[in-house]
A and B are shown apart, each in its own frame.
Chain A
Amino acid sequence: MKTLEMQRAHAVQAWNGLQNSARPVIYVGAGSCGLAAGAAEVIEAVEAYLAKKRIGADVLKVGCIGPCYLEPLVDVQMPGNPRISYSNVTAEVVRELFDSFFEKGEVFRRHLVGHFSENGFKGAPKFFEHPMLQRQVRIVLRNCGIIDPENVNHYLARDGYKGLEKCLWMPWSDVLEIVKNSGLRGRGGAGFPTWRKWLVCRETKSDTRYLICNADEGDPGAFMNRSLIEGDPHAVLEGMLIAAYTIGASKGFVYIRAEYPLAIQRLKSAIAQLRELGLLGRGILGSEFDFDISIKEGAGAFVCGEETALIASIEGKRGMPRTRPPFPAVAGLWGKPTIINNVETLGTLPNIIRNGAAWYSQYGTETSKGTKTFSLVGKLRRTGLIEVPLGMTVRSVVYDIGGGSVKGFKAVQTGGPSGGCLGEEFLDTPIDYEALGAAGSIMGSGGLIVLDRNTCIVDTAKYFLNFTQAESCGKCVPCRVGTRHLVNILERISQGKGEVSDLARLERLALAIKGGALCGLGQTAPNPVLTSLKYFRGEFLSHISDKRCPAAVCRDLVHYRIIKDKCTGCQRCVKICPTGAITGPRSEPHNLDMSMCIKCRSCYEICRFDAIAGDAIVIEPGA
């Protein structure tokens, strides 16, 4: 249809105009992570500065570009200069930064991360050559942090909706063939070949079929899907249109967790833009394809990320899973054939359709094709959202991209509550579905949580089991009762009350739950215990036999101590201690009465950050 072409021509013009703008352009990373780091205050400072000095400039809010630890990120693009990115910007930094550009006419040097020009730029490195970004391949994240996610023209100008246009001229079976040849597997966790379940759905006779975008992102500690929706909502929506066209669905839902208000708002405005462009509704772009999308907000239940529970919840019921088969592709929402795909799976599709199957499958390994996003978090120097070709080693991700742990690497946890902890011996393991599975963990949705020597493996296993226990829907006994027992045993061990025979008990119980549970939640819940026991048995034994938590985390197995020679007697800890456990006159080393200490960490932190000595209080293993 004419109008999209015209709109795109206009969009390209506007986008190019922005790149070569005669006015300064300021880009502020204002995703959830940027905002948490203080982007709102930065935007205020930017606008106040521009208003006060009467400078005409455009201020754009962009999504998360990945290195969250550098947030708030502000990019400055002066006429004739490339866009240059600055990190950890505060209101004060804004003043200095702008004074430099606007008053002195000089490129600001401090806080500088890099520039975005394809060519070189004197005195500044390329943004994408930053150590955190250099080894990444950004396909699904290509627009995140670059474009204004609320401006559909930015998406259109960067080849947006070209994938859909291409599809509408092909029979559905050809689209399916491309997806098949690309090797794309589901990014929601299980890694099931996308084309295969699509085919089942398409071949099931029915007057109605549904498509659901799974944006529940239940893995606590993972935020890839949030970032993608916030930073580039149209990529996900275009993916939904492509999927719906291929499977023959006329109605789609985005099931998104209520904890993501900004992502929900971005989706809503993007959907409204689509309606205006004639990309939703009847006869899309003059074809015979009808499709519409509604948003369903999740109500806070991890199990609702599981597809049959998710369907129950959309139907207005308690989010309980049911046994499969029948699979949703055959009988899903309201009994109709339904495809559920993860946000990232869908967001990848437009790229595959535009650039072809061979292009996509050049990345990755024999069986795990393409790229995958990960939320790289925990105890390491550089944290954030990354996208890498599948098959990259754990070492490259943790050290080259993440910069390693300050306190020494201990393990990486993959797969969230369904996965496991892999220690140093797995640093050279490639990150792909098969290798992680063989190691006893899973790929999962993309959470990579790095643990250092100050993280306790027993505590981490207990944390996950507490989580799955609380989230168990209660329908089947192995999961409901079994996980409770696992938690109790782990609790005992972390209190120093465990017995060596508990380890065998844990293993036996874990295997029974794995074999007996109804849905994926219960079947995978014991994984964190099993891998930890397998690879970190010694740490369990320390807790049991020596009543010692080597990482000094388990509260019943640590003590706090004031190093008399270091304490200057500044009384900061005396004031903050909520129980009066610390006493002592000013300028004399203080006393800590362990019988009153509740191990709340307040004294430890205040000594390190606010007191004169800085390191007079230590937390040590041993009760």
Chain B
Amino acid sequence: MPFDPFAEIVRGFEGEPAELIPILQRVQAIYGYLSPESVGRISRWLRISENEIFGVATFFAQFRFSQPGEHVIKVCLGTACHVKGGEQILDVLKRRLDIQPGESTADGRYQLERVACLGCCALAPVLAIDEKVYADTSVLRVHQMLEERENREDA
């Protein structure tokens, strides 16, 4: 039998409708987003309509429906980060990357996201690039971080 990645993805699941969200989470963990093809496969496998799957998936902030940028920058806009200037950090990123939250840069390098709280509120304002969380950031730090990254790429 030819190798079927979808069979790998659903390994360990039983095919119950209640497994929809964990399956969506696994698909997104592997592909980075939910493509129409993935949703189609899930729909047939769980015998749930695609409409219903999109209904559930769009309800939750976690799910994406387009290919994300290579590096995901998450700016925390939880309460602690908000009162310490998180909004302005997001603004600087929007301007420098020339994208809105939820979008990726034209070259596909960066994806910008806003998140409700990263759980490091005592060290606010906080942002994360991919899995790494940065504490005590500032507008200034963000300028510096982006410059360091650009320099590293040029080198």
Residues of A within 8 A of B (CB): 32-33, 35-38, 68-69, 71, 217-223, 226-227, 258-261, 296-297, 299-302, 313-320, 375-379, 383-385, 413, 416, 447, 449, 451, 455, 460, 463-464, 467, 473, 576, 578, 598, 600-602, 605-606, 609-610
Contact = CB atoms under 8 A, between A and B. Distances in A.
B117 A600 contact: no
A32 B120 contact: yes
B91 interface: yes
Interface stretch (B3-11, B18-26, B65-73, B102-110): B18-26
Given A301-B61, A449-B80, A463-B79, A296 B22 contact: yes
B115 A316 contact: no
B92 interface: yes
A293 B84 CA distance: 39
A385 B61 CA distance: 27
B123 A601 contact: no
Given A299-B25, A383-B122, A602 B143 contact: yes
20 contacts: A32-B119, A36-B126, A69-B122, A69-B123, A221-B79, A221-B80, A222-B117, A259-B119, A299-B61, A301-B59, A301-B61, A316-B17, A316-B21, A319-B60, A449-B83, A463-B79, A600-B92, A600-B95, A600-B139, A605-B138
Interface of B: 16-22, 24-25, 55-56, 59-63, 77-85, 88, 91-92, 95-96, 115-124, 126, 131, 133-136, 138-140, 143
Contacts of A447: 79, 121
Nearest to A610: B140
Contacts of B118: 32, 36, 259
Contacts of A297: 22, 25
Contacts of B62: 258, 299-300
A375 B138 contact: no
Contact of A316 (B19, B77, B120): B19
Nearest to A313: B21
A605 B18 contact: no
Given A259-B118, A378-B83, A221 B78 contact: yes
A600 B124 contact: no
Contacts of A378: 79-80, 83-84, 124
Contact of A601 (B21, B82, B85): B85
Q: Which 4 A-B pairs have the closest CB atoms?
A: A221-B79, A220-B78, A68-B122, A300-B61
A455 B92 CA distance: 20
B92 A602 contact: yes
Residue from A313, A316, A377 with most neighbouring chain B CB atoms (10 Å): A316
B88 A223 contact: no
Contact of A377 (B21, B122, B139): B122
Contacts of A260: 119
A227 B135 CA distance: 16
Contacts of A313: 21
